[in-house]
Chains A and B, each alone.
Chain A
Amino acid sequence: GQSLEQPSEVTAVEGAIVQINCTYQTSGFYGLSWYQQHDGGAPTFLSYNALDGLEETGRFSSFLSRSDSYGYLLLQELQMKDSASYFCATHGSARQLTFGSGTQLTVLP
């Protein structure tokens, strides 16, 4: 089976940097993705890592260490609109996703 662990809540102030960690156990690993979900909304894709290292997309970066079964999402220059839930998810062979339980990020003014 597959399982993912991530913190349930993180709070930071506007303009700050926050890191959301994710550790996973999986029987077959095809990559780690991050999704954002605002209250009442649908998940939207943020980032994907298949290989070790850092991927940068604007204010968001994602890191993966396959040997440690560990990844993180880094959000810089936090804005109020970044308040949302963030999910890490591992990919199966058909690219189906297994999600973590999510991290609720609250950005304070």
Chain B
Amino acid sequence: NAGVTQTPKFQVLKTGQSMTLQCAQDMNHNSMYWYRQDPGMGLRLIYYSASEGTTDKGEVPNGYNVSRLNKREFSLRLESAAPSQTSVYFCASSEGPGGNNIQYFGAGTRLSVL
């Protein structure tokens, strides 16, 4: 029962470098989400995909892009990393509208931008 799998678990970048955070779910969920969590704070939504083929901006989309590659996979890309993007990134999935309202989270990617 893998659930939601995120890679990598840890990453250190230099300012200006790019990288892609990977997320895959095996629960046949329609909706997927990317959040970031800064120390002592709640999670903030970056982007979400309500269904395969659609993506929408969340609360803090600037500096990020996403790709819903297929129903299972939803990636988050940082084109030019900045120190302000140092955070823990969580991917989540859910059945989506019409289903239950439970979001299942991956273990997170801890990103430091120097």
Contact = CB atoms under 8 A, between A and B. Distances in A.
A44 interface: yes
Nearest to B102: A45
Contacts of B108: 42
Nearest to A93: B97
Interface of A is mostly: loop
Interface stretch (B13-21, B39-47, B72-80): B39-47
Interface residues of A, number: 24
B48 A101 contact: no
Contacts of A62: none
Contacts of B40: 101-102
B103 interface: yes
Given A94-B48, A97-B45, 14 more contacts: A4-B42, A31-B101, A42-B90, A43-B90, A43-B105, A45-B103, A89-B42, A94-B96, A95-B101, A95-B103, A99-B42, A99-B44, A101-B41, A102-B42
B103 A97 contact: yes
A39 B59 CA distance: 24
Interface of B: 31, 33, 35, 40-45, 48, 50, 56, 58-59, 90, 94, 96-97, 100-108
B43 A99 contact: yes
A43 B113 CA distance: 24
Given A42-B108, A45-B103, A48-B102, A96 B33 contact: yes
Nearest to B99: A95
Contacts of B97: 93-95
Contacts of A95: 31, 50, 94, 96-97, 101, 103
A97 B43 contact: yes
Contacts of A87: 42-43
A97 B90 contact: no
